[in-house]
Amino acid sequence: MSVFALLLGVVAFIAVLRVLEAQKVATGVLNTTQHALSVMMNSDVTDEEKEMQVRRASLKLLGGFFGIAAIGTAAIGASVLVVWGGAVFDFYAVDQAISVALGWPFILGSTAAAVALWIGLDRLNKVPQDDARREEVPYSPMDKALHDFAFASSDRQIRLGRLENRLYRRSIAAERAERPVFITSLPRAGTTIMLEGLSALPDFASATYRHMPFTLSPLLWGGFSKSFRKAGDFAERAHGDGISVGIDSPEAFEEMLWMAFWPEHYASDHITLWDGRANDEGFENFFRQHMAKIVATKPQAVRYISKNNANIARLDLIQRIFPDAATVLPVRNPRAQVKSLLRQHERFTDLHRREPFARRYMEGIGHFEFGGALRPIRFDGAPGKMAGAKHADFWLRYWIAAYEHVLKTAGPNAIFVDHDALCEDPQRILPDLGHALQLQDGTDMASFASMLRAPRPVPHLEGASADLLHKADELHIRLCDRAIGTSHPPFKEISI
């Protein structure tokens, strides 16, 4: 009888938690913490406003903790009342009930029963969610809080990375930082598919989603995350471009390192160019160790590879720091690329308005290409104001300014790749790319070819300046003239 009464006590405990909405109160505490962290890392908020909002958050947290404590006390009280009531009516002795309750069989059994009851009630009361919204930002409140905590301090990321350097010093071989490959270009030029194709080869290792959000300590955090992050299903990324990603997919996280060491380059509305003669010995040493650690995360890999669109702002600096590096620069037809840039900016502007965490996430990892997070790189001749980012001419001017800068600063180790030609005829271009990258086994490139799809017809850019289009077309030809396996046909626009 005492076992039955104790189980009723468990039911009473769960019932009080549900009635008093303990989960809602706890979620409120977590959301308040997350909001406070996001305010602290938001460079657009003044110090006075941060102090005021953090003070408000502290009061809300205090109230939330008192609420959780009160609910917990009420739930325990209800459970004790049920068990004590049975003893009052002489169904069993209190000592007998306590003895049973403290035994491992009951502790394990009641815990399993409580969890099953809670999950069952959740399923019965489940409210349908917006699947599309959940897929756009697939993070729980706990995930968001963890990311906000990681993004709140670059110094914390660096300190953790340096601690990792000491802990894993025997695993970090200097030669693993030799002959790195940097994939860069403006977004929507084919950099992602280039990273996916090359990082799948045995030679290369890249940062992956498993290393988020502590990306500067890939061995320490990557090893720890294996205990709760399992390889699972793939899902389409937020760009809506048909590219699916999973926990072990490669991704562009390298900019977090540049942001940590060069914060003065990141203004609230733009990013300034790097001087090719700039020098920071601490950054260079940390970067080399970081590359070696990334390579150490993948068995048999011998070279580091990354995708970082912002690297086009510092091609000459990268070449000076890493003279044995190769820089891969995919080049896409400007009309198709500008159309895609404009579409992505509109998409992320809407997403960032609806989901503030999506903007904090992109800013945290250094993706300032679109939406509310947009901070254009200040190339010579680039648009000075972001107000025009909803028009094709803004992105045409930006495209022209960016690639004029690329032609001026790309060194002898730069490998230009005509993305459209690559997709049209990968069997012709890929061997040349493999040779340029000095791969151990060029036959591995066959798997890359299967990822590529023939390019769509060149779109019409409605409302675009004819002069800008002509200038972009001419610049595109100059870029393709430097590309491996170059063989571009005369330009022909097809309206779609």
- CATH number of the domain enclosing 347: 3.40.50
Please, are residues 183 and 328 in contact by the beta-carbon 8 Å criterion? yes
In a domain, 101, yes or no: yes
Phi (first) and psi of residue 57, to 5 degrees: -65, -35
For residue 459, the tally of other CB atoms under 10 A from its CB is: 17
261 and 385: one domain?
A: yes
Please, are residues 419 and 331 in contact by the beta-carbon 8 Å criterion? yes
Please list the alpha-helical segments (H only) found in 125-275.
131-136, 141-151, 154-167, 191-199, 218-225, 255-261
pLDDT of residue 230: 55
For residue 287, the tally of other CB atoms under 10 A from its CB is: 21
The strand order across the sheet containing 303-307 reads 204-205, 303-307, 181-183, 326-331, 414-418
88 and 191: one domain?
A: no
In a domain, 165, yes or no: no
95 and 199: one domain?
A: no
pLDDT of residue 38: 58
Question: Which of 95, 127, 159 corresponds to the end of one domain?
Answer: 127
Q: How much is the pTM?
A: 0.72
Residue 434 has which token pair?
Answer: 């493999």
Which of 112, 111, 116, 121 is CA-nearest to residue 21?
A: 121
Please, are residues 293 and 222 in contact by the beta-carbon 8 Å criterion? no
Residue 267 structural domain: 179-206+254-481
pLDDT of residue 227: 59
pLDDT of residue 123: 67
pLDDT of residue 19: 80
In a domain, 138, yes or no: no
Q: Are strands 235-236 and 244-245 parallel, antiparallel or unpaired?
A: antiparallel
Residue 351 has which token pair?
Answer: 């997403």
What does the alpha-carbon distance between residue 397 and residue 388 come to, in Å, rounded to a whole number? 11
Burial of 402 (0-12, 13-18, 19+ CB in 10 A): buried
346 and 447: one domain?
A: yes
pLDDT of residue 346: 93
188 and 262: one domain?
A: yes
What 3-state class would DSSP assign to 415? strand
Phi (first) and psi of residue 405, to 5 degrees: -65, -40
In a domain, 140, yes or no: no
440 and 343: one domain?
A: yes
Q: Are strands 414-418 and 326-331 parallel, antiparallel or unpaired?
A: parallel
* DSSP 8-state symbol, 365: T
Q: How many domains does the chain have?
A: 2
In a domain, 380, yes or no: yes
What does the alpha-carbon distance between residue 38 and residue 344 come to, in Å, rounded to a whole number? 24
195 and 58: one domain?
A: no
In a domain, 284, yes or no: yes
Residue 211 has which token pair?
Answer: 């290393």
190 and 98: one domain?
A: no
275 and 402: one domain?
A: yes
pLDDT of residue 191: 94
For residue 403, the tally of other CB atoms under 10 A from its CB is: 25
Question: Which of 64, 92, 127 corresponds to the end of one domain?
Answer: 127
In a domain, 21, yes or no: yes
456 and 350: one domain?
A: yes
pLDDT of residue 419: 95
261 and 399: one domain?
A: yes
205: enclosing H helix or E strand? strand 204-205
pLDDT of residue 52: 73
* pLDDT tens track, the chain, 496 positions: 677 777 777 788 878 877 887 777 776 676 666 566 656 655 555 667 767 776 777 777 777 778 788 888 888 888 888 777 777 777 667 777 777 777 777 777 777 777 777 677 766 765 444 444 445 556 677 777 777 778 877 888 899 899 988 888 887 877 778 999 999 999 999 999 999 999 999 999 999 888 888 889 998 887 776 655 555 554 544 555 455 556 778 888 999 999 999 999 999 899 999 999 998 999 999 999 999 999 998 988 999 999 999 999 999 999 999 999 999 999 999 999 999 999 999 999 999 998 888 898 899 999 999 999 999 999 999 997 787 899 999 999 999 999 999 999 999 999 999 999 999 999 999 999 999 999 877 667 878 888 888 888 888 888 899 999 999 999 999 999 999 977 544 444 433 3
344 and 422: one domain?
A: yes
What does the alpha-carbon distance between residue 175 and residue 439 come to, in Å, rounded to a whole number? 16
Which of 405, 350, 402, 399 is CA-nearest to residue 373?
A: 350
Question: Which of 64, 97, 127 corresponds to the end of one domain?
Answer: 127
In a domain, 38, yes or no: yes
